[in-house]
């Protein structure tokens, strides 16, 4: 695992990409984190109400655990990580091998759309972080 | 792994407290939590099993002020010490920048300390890290038990079991009384920030 060094340019590019793709589609919160639970980007309207530090730590651990579970039963990894709640749903998507994009959304946004946008974003975000 | 945000001028580091089950890792974090001013600490997150055993990890985010214009943010984690939680322990160590090994002085725990240190060394190796190269301090916890009838190991015995080859800084402590906790944290934070700065920021931090 490597350390991430964020510049203002990277942060801005990432934020724009996430805003244009997910937030404009109605996703409430999107959080880009690394495998150690650090927050790289935080977008959307509810993000100040949520304890994002705890969320990032738990999500990183949760995805790590899920990968291990996959290996135990002979799978490479699970492609879909999604929890459905009464009002809020949460989706975890891998971005390359080191980053995770967490999205929180409600009924007005479909899971299919979120999955599709996250996989598009994976490419854009990977490029932003690889250029550096 | 550290995160360095040049635009906000923040450095984020991950420090993990390791050691055998019941050695006092969670107690260390609770003690830090209680002694820090509210503005410098975040929420403490703990995931407990039955009773007080850590199942996955504890997390305490801290704000340690600024060093050369960079805001130092530290996340303290504890691993679950019990042997059976090896897989989760390894996950928590992912991306670690600094380590505290908390040793238990109970005579009956002598072998557990040694095994726990071996387990740590092995997990770090799997992540491509060498324990000798990492920021690391050892804390000899529960020193308050030395004056009680409970059979405990002396500092010399602990030294020869755990620190014979590593030769890192050690701190006697009684986490339950808050003794030695801050000294341990101060030293590991200093080492960790220096380690991260040496890797990346020498030029920027001057
Ligand atoms: N006498 C004494 N007891 C201590 C001290 N520190 C911790 N304890 C006690 O040791 C027990 C275990 O402490 P924890 O902090 O939960 O241990 P842990 O290392 O987090 O254990 P796991 O989560 O199972 O890995 C508790 O009953 C604590 O009160 C100390 O300095 N002195
Ligand atoms: Mg614990």
Tell me the pLDDT tens digit for each residue of A41-79: 999 987 678 899 999 999 998 898 888 889 889 998 887
pLDDT of residue A47: 67
Question: pLDDT by residue (tens digit) across B54-87?
Answer: 888 999 999 999 988 899 999 999 999 988 888 8
Q: Buried b vs exposed e over B154-187: b needs ≥16 C-beta within 10 Å?
A: ebeebbeebbeeeebebbbbbbbebbbbbebbeb
Compute the distance between CA of residue B10 and CA of residue B6 in angstroms, rounded to an integer: 7
Give me the mean pLDDT over the B34-60 stretch: 86
Q: How far is CA A112 from CA A55, A67, A109, A116, in A?
A: 23, 22, 9, 6
A116: CATH:
3.30.450.30
Band of residue B206 on the pLDDT scale cut at 50, 70, 90: very low
Percent of chain A surpassing pLDDT 70: 96
Domain ranges of chain B: 3-198
pLDDT of residue B48: 66
pLDDT of residue B29: 96
Q: How far is CA A105 from CA A25, A42, B6, in A?
A: 10, 14, 30
The phi and psi torsions of B55 (rounded to 5 degrees) equal -90, -45
pLDDT of residue A97: 85
Domain that holds residue A24: 8-130
Give the total number of structural domains in chain A: 1
Residue with CA at minimum distance from ligand 1 atom 25 = B81
Residue A59 belongs to some domain of the structure: yes
Question: pLDDT by residue (tens digit) across B92-150?
Answer: 999 999 999 999 999 999 999 999 999 999 999 999 999 999 999 999 999 999 999 99
Distance (angstroms) between ligand 1 centre and the Cα of B185 equals 17
Q: What is the pTM of this model?
A: 0.91
Residue A1 belongs to some domain of the structure: no
Compute the distance between CA of residue B17 and CA of residue B169 in angstroms, rounded to an integer: 15
Q: What is the distance between the terminal CA atoms of chain B, rounded to a whole angstrom? A: 22
Residue A31 belongs to some domain of the structure: yes
CB nearest to B45's CB, from A36, A57, A64? A57
Distance (angstroms) between ligand 1 centre and the Cα of B88 equals 19
Do A120 and A27 contact (CB within 8 A), yes or no?
no
Whether residue B205 is predicted with pLDDT greater than 90 in this model: the reply is no
Residue A2 belongs to some domain of the structure: no
Query: What's the mean per-residue pLDDT of chain B?
Result: 92
Question: pLDDT by residue (tens digit) across B15-29?
Answer: 999 999 999 999 999
Whether residue B201 is predicted with pLDDT greater than 70 in this model: the reply is no
Inter-chain touch B7–A51, beta carbons under 8 Å? no
Inter-chain touch A7–B6, beta carbons under 8 Å? yes
**Residue of B22, B46, B109, B145 best suited for mutating to test ligand 1, as the one with most atoms within 8 Å of CB:** B22
- Name the nearest CA neighbour of A132 among A4, A33, A40, A31: A4
The phi and psi torsions of A126 (rounded to 5 degrees) equal -55, -40
Count the residues in chain B: 206
Distance (angstroms) between ligand 1 centre and the Cα of B20 equals 10
Do B72 and B65 contact (CB within 8 A), yes or no?
yes
Residue with CA at minimum distance from ligand 1 atom 27 = B22
Q: Which pair of structure tokens corresponds to residue A79? A: 């492609």
Compute the distance between CA of residue B136 and CA of residue B99 in angstroms, rounded to an integer: 5
At the fourth CATH level, the homologous superfamily of domain B3-198 is P-loop containing nucleotide triphosphate hydrolases (3.40.50.300)
Question: pLDDT by residue (tens digit) across A97-122?
Answer: 889 999 999 999 999 999 999 999 99
Give the range among A16-20, A58-62, A127-131, B134-138 with minimum mean pLDDT: A127-131
């Amino acid at each position: 695992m490597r350390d991430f060094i964020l510049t203002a340019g990277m942060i801005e590019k990432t934020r724009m990409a996430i805003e244009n793709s997910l937030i404009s589609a109605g996703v409430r919160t999107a959080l880009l984190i690394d495998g150690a639970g650090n927050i790289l980007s935080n977008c959307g309207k509810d993000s100040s109400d949520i304890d994002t530090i705890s969320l990032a730590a738990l999500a990183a651990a949760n995805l790590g655990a899920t990968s291990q579970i996959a290996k135990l039963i002979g799978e490479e990894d699970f492609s879909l990580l999604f929890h459905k709640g009464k009002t809020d749903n949460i989706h975890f998507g891998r971005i390359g091998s080191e980053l995770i994009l967490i999205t929180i959304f409600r009924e007005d946004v479909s899971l299919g759309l979120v999955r599709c946008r996250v996989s598009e974003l994976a490419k854009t975000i990977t490029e932003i972080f690889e250029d550096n | 792994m550290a995160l360095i945000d040049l635009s906000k001028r923040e450095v984020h580091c991950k420090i993990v407290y390791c050691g055998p089950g019941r050695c006092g890792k969670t107690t260390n974090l609770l003690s830090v939590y209680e002694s820090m001013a509210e503005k410098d600490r975040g929420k403490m997150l703990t995931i407990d099993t039955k009773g007080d055993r850590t199942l996955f990890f504890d997390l305490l985010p801290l704000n340690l002020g600024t060093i050369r214009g960079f805001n130092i943010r530290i996340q303290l984690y504890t691993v679950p010490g019990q042997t059976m939680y090896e897989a989760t322990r390894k996950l928590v160590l992912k991306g670690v920048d600094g380590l505290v090994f908390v040793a238990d002085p109970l005579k009956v725990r002598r072998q557990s300390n040694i095994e726990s240190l071996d387990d740590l060394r092995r997990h770090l190796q799997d992540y491509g890290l060498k324990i000798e190269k990492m920021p690391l301090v050892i804390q000899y916890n529960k020193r308050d038990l030395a004056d009680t009838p409970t059979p405990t190991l002396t500092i010399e015995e602990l030294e020869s079991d755990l620190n014979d080859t590593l030769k890192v800084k050690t701190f006697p402590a009684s986490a339950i009384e808050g003794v030695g906790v801050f000294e341990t944290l101060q030293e590991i934070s200093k080492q960790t920030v220096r380690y991260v700065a040496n890797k990346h920021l020498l030029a920027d931090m001057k």
